[in-house]
Amino acid sequence: MSFRAPVRDIAHALGVVGFDRLRELPAFAELDADTTSAVLDAAGAFTSERLAPLNRVGDTVGARYENGAVFSPPGFSQAYRDFAAGGWCGLSAELEYGGQGLPKALELAVYEMVHSANLAFGLCPVLNVGAIEALQEAGTARQKSLFLPPLIDGRWTGTMNLTEPQAGSDLAALTARAEPAGEGRYKLYGEKIFITWGEHDVADNIVHLVLARLPGAPAGVKGISLFIAPKFLVGADGKAGARNGLRAASIEHKLGIHASPTCVMLYDGAEAELLGRANEGLAVMFVMMNAARLQVGMQGVGIGEMAYQRALAYALERKQGRAALSKEYPARIFDHPEVRRSLLLMKAQVEAARAIVLMAGVFLDRARHAQSAEGRAAAQARADLLTPIAKAWSTDMGVAVASAGLQIHGGMGFIEETGAAQYYRDARITPIYEGTNAIQANDLVGRKLGDGGNAAFALIAEIAADAKAARADARFAAVASYLQAAATALETATHWQLAHRGADGLAGANAYLALFGDTLGGWLLLRGAQQAPDGVWGRNKAVLADLFATQILSLAPGRAEAAMTGAAALTAIDAEALVA
C-alpha cells in the first residue's frame, strides 16, 4: 500500500488554525493561497513518489557503520540530494541566505508528509531546520554567511549534540569541555551519545552543534556553552577542507527508525567556535529544541496518519464473519462496529494533533513577525504554552494510533511484511527524544504555568467561549457541551496546579497535559467541522468531532481528577518492599 498525501486535510487544518491571517503580517504579505497549495501539492508528490518507496528498505537494510563511516540504505543519498535540490531544507529560512521565508506552520505541514512517508529520512532535514534556526538566532554575520547557505540548500546537514552517557534529561550533568585555542577558537573534548544523523554519506559536510563547558564555567545549566564543530573544517571562502578531530565511534541497534544513524560521537580536540555567548548555550539550544519539539510532534501526526491509512486499506480488503454494519457474508472487517470505531477514532486523533501542532506553528510565526511588541509577546506566550502539548500529546497519540492500526490487522499486524509493525516500532521513539514526554509535562505545569497561568487561562477562555457559542447550533450542540465540560475541568485543574507546585503538581503533570491536549483537540475538531464545506467530505468532519467528543472529551472530568490527585500515594509506597 502506498502513501496518499492528505493534502486536502492538511490545507483544511491550516485554515482552522488561522494560517490565512498570517498574510496580514508584512513578512507574509505575498503568500497567496495558490503558493500554499502549490507547496503542499509538490510536497505530497515528492513524499509519496520518492520517500515512501524507501521506507521499507530503510527499515530492513538500515544504516551501516564501517570504520568510522556510516552508509545510508540504498536510495537514501540520492533522495536526500533531490530533496535538498527541491528547496525543502530551507522552507522557513531567511531569504537573505537562500531560504524561502515561508511560515513555520507551512514548513510543519510539509514535514508531516515527510514523516508519514519516511520517518527515519525526515530526521535528517529536520536537524537542518533546527541548526538553521539556532544560527539565525545567535550566529555572527560571519557564521551566518559561512554556515547558513549550505545548510539551507541542503549541501550540508546539521546535528544537535546534547546527550552524554550521564546527562540525558538532566543537561546540568554534562561534562564535554571546550578549551580556548586562541583567536576565538576552541578545542572540544568529550563523548556524546545518541546523535541522530551524526555521521552519514548523504551530504558533503555535517555541522555539529555541541553543548560543552568552558574552563571555570559555573556548575549546572548556567555553565553550558554552544559550539559549532563541522566534520570538515570550513575556510574563510566557505569551502570545506581538512577533516576535523571528531568521529562517530559506532551506531546504535534500535527498535525502529533503522535508516536514521544514531551515533556515539567522540570529540578529541575538534576545532570549534562559540555560537552565541559563553555560558548561554542552553538558551540558544532551546531555540533549536523548540523547533525540533514541534517537528517531533509532527512526527506523531505523520506516523499516525500513515498507520491510519494502512489500517483503513486493510479493513476495506480483509473479510471476516458477519458484521453488524453490513449484510454481506463474509463482511469486510470495516463493517464490524469496533473496527470502524477504532479507525475513525484514529483519524479523529490524527486530525486533532495535526491542528494542535499547526496552531503552535502559526503562533510561532506571529511571535516572530507580528508588527507590535505586544503582539509578538502574546503570540510567543501562546506558542510556548502549546509547544510541550504539541510534542507530547501528538507523540503519545502517534504511538496509540500505530498500536490501534496494528490491532486492526489482527495477526498480520504482528508480521513484518504488512508494514504496520514498522510504524509501531518507528513511532515509539517519539515520546522519548527531544525531551521525554514526562519532561514536557513538567515543563507545562512548571515553566508554562509560571506566568500565574495567564496564557493558559486566556486559551481556556477562548475555548469556553467557542463552546458556548456552538451550543446554539443544533448540529454542534452535543460536541459543544462536552467541550464546555472539558474546558471547565481544565480550568479547575489549572487552578489546582497553580496551588500545588512541587511533588503534588508533578504527580499529576502527565494527566494535566493529556487533559489539555484532549480539550484543544476537541476544540479544533469542532472548529474544523464548523468551517468544513457542505458535502460528504465536510460532513465527515462533523462525525469525527462528534466521535472525539463522546470517546475522549467525555473522559475530561476523570483526567482532571488524575491531574489533581497529588503525590500522597507515591510517597506512601514503601519503595524497598517493591524489590523485596
Ligand X SMILES: Cc1cc2nc3c(=O)[nH]c(=O)nc-3n(C[C@H](O)[C@H](O)[C@H](O)COP(=O)(O)OP(=O)(O)OC[C@H]3O[C@@H](n4cnc5c(N)ncnc54)[C@H](O)[C@@H]3O)c2cc1C
Q: Does 157 bind ligand X (CB under 6 A)?
A: no
Report d(CA 476, CA 445) in Å as an integer.
31
- Closer residue to ligand X, CB minimum distance, 55 or 163: 163
Find the part of the chain contacting ligand X (CB under 6 A) among 10-18, 191-199, 315-323, 550-558: 191-199
**In this complex, which beta carbon is closest to ligand X, that of residue 254 or of residue 559?**
254
Q: Is 279 near ligand X (CB under 6 A)? A: no
246 binds ligand X (CB under 6 A): no
Cβ 491 vs Cβ 367: under 8 Å:
no
Residue 327, SS3?
coil
Give whichever of 249 and 478 is closer to ligand X, judged by the CB atom.
Answer: 249
By beta-carbon proximity to ligand X, the closer residue of 148 and 251 is: 251
Closest approach, Cβ 162 to ligand X, in A, equals 3
SS3 track for 402-452: HHHHHHHCHHHHHCHHHCHHHHHHHHCCCCCCCCCHHHHHHHHHCHHHCCC
Q: Dihedral of CA 334/414/47/517: which sign?
A: positive
Q: Site for ligand X (CB under 6 A): which residue of 31, 63, 146, 160?
A: 160
How would you classify the pairing of strands 156-161 and 205-212?
A: parallel
Q: 100-118 burial, b if ≥16 CB within 10 A, otherwise e?
A: bbbbbbbbbbbbbbbbbbb
Q: Is 429 in the site for ligand X (CB under 6 A)?
A: yes
- Interface size with ligand X, residues (CB under 6 A): 18
> Is 195 an interacting residue with respect to ligand X (CB under 6 A)?
yes
Q: 44 vs 158, which CB is nearer to ligand X?
A: 158
Spot the catalytic one: 434, 462, 491, 576: 434
Instruction: Identify whether 434 is a catalytic site residue.
Output: yes
HSE, CB side, 13 Å, CA atoms: give it for residue 429. Answer: 21
CB of 169 to ligand X, least distance (A): 3
Q: Judged by CB under 6 A, does residue 267 bind ligand X?
A: no
- Burial code of 282-307, b = ≥16 C-beta within 10 A, e = fewer? bebbebbbbbbbbbbbbbbbbbbbbb
User: Which amino acid is residue 76, in one-letter code?
Assistant: F
Residue 80: CB minimum distance to ligand X, A: 17
| CA–CA distance, 217 with 278 (Å, rounded to integer) | 9
What's the chain's length in residues?
580
Single-letter amino acid, residue 566: G
Helix intervals (H) in 119-255: 119-138, 141-152
Minimum CB–partner distance for residue 432 and ligand X (Å): 6
Give the residue, chosen from 39, 110, 117, 162, that forms a contact with ligand X under the rule CB under 6 A. 162
Cβ-based nearer residue to ligand X, 140 or 436: 436
Q: Which of 1, 57, 412, 432 binds ligand X (CB under 6 A)?
A: 432
Cα–Cα distances (Å) from 491 to 58, 464, 469, 498, 545, in that order, read 45, 10, 18, 11, 21
Dihedral sign, Cα of residue 436, residue 441, residue 443, residue 448:
positive
- Which CB, 57 or 439, lies closer to ligand X? 439
Among residue numbers 434 through 453, which ones bind ligand X (CB under 6 A)? 436, 438-439, 442
Sign of the four-CA dihedral 273, 278, 284, 285 = positive
For residues 195 and 420, which CB has a smaller minimum distance to ligand X in the complex?
A: 195
Query: Which residue has the CB atom at the shortest distance from ligand X?
Result: 168
Sites for ligand X among residues 167-186 (CB under 6 A): 168-169
Q: Are 164 and 177 in contact (CB under 8 A)?
A: no
Residue 194 makes contact with ligand X by CB under 6 A: yes
Stretch that binds ligand X, among 280-288, 428-436, 460-468, 495-503 (CB under 6 A): 428-436
Query: Does 433 help bind ligand X (rule: CB under 6 A)?
Result: yes
- Closest CB 203 distance from ligand X, rounded Å: 16
3-state helix, strand, coil in the chain (%, to 5): 60, 15, 25
- Cis-peptide, bond into residue 431, ω within 30° of zero: no
- Spatial distance between the Cα atoms of 6 and 430, rounded to a whole number of angstroms: 21
Nearest residue (CB) to ligand X, 35 versus 436:
436
Shortest distance (Å) from residue 70 CB to ligand X: 14
Is residue 196 a contact point for ligand X (CB under 6 A)? Answer: yes
Asked whether position 207 contacts ligand X by CB under 6 A, the answer is no
For 111, list phi and psi in degrees, rounded to 5.
Answer: -70, -20
x/- map, 378-417, ligand X, by CB under 6 A: ----------------------------------------
Cα distance between residue 188 and residue 228, in whole Å: 10
Asked if residue 161 binds ligand X (CB under 6 A), the reply is yes
72, 136, 262, 299: residue in contact with ligand X (rule CB under 6 A): 262
Binding site for ligand X (CB under 6 A): 160-163, 168-169, 194-196, 254, 262, 429, 432-433, 436, 438-439, 442
Supply the residues annotated as catalytic: 434
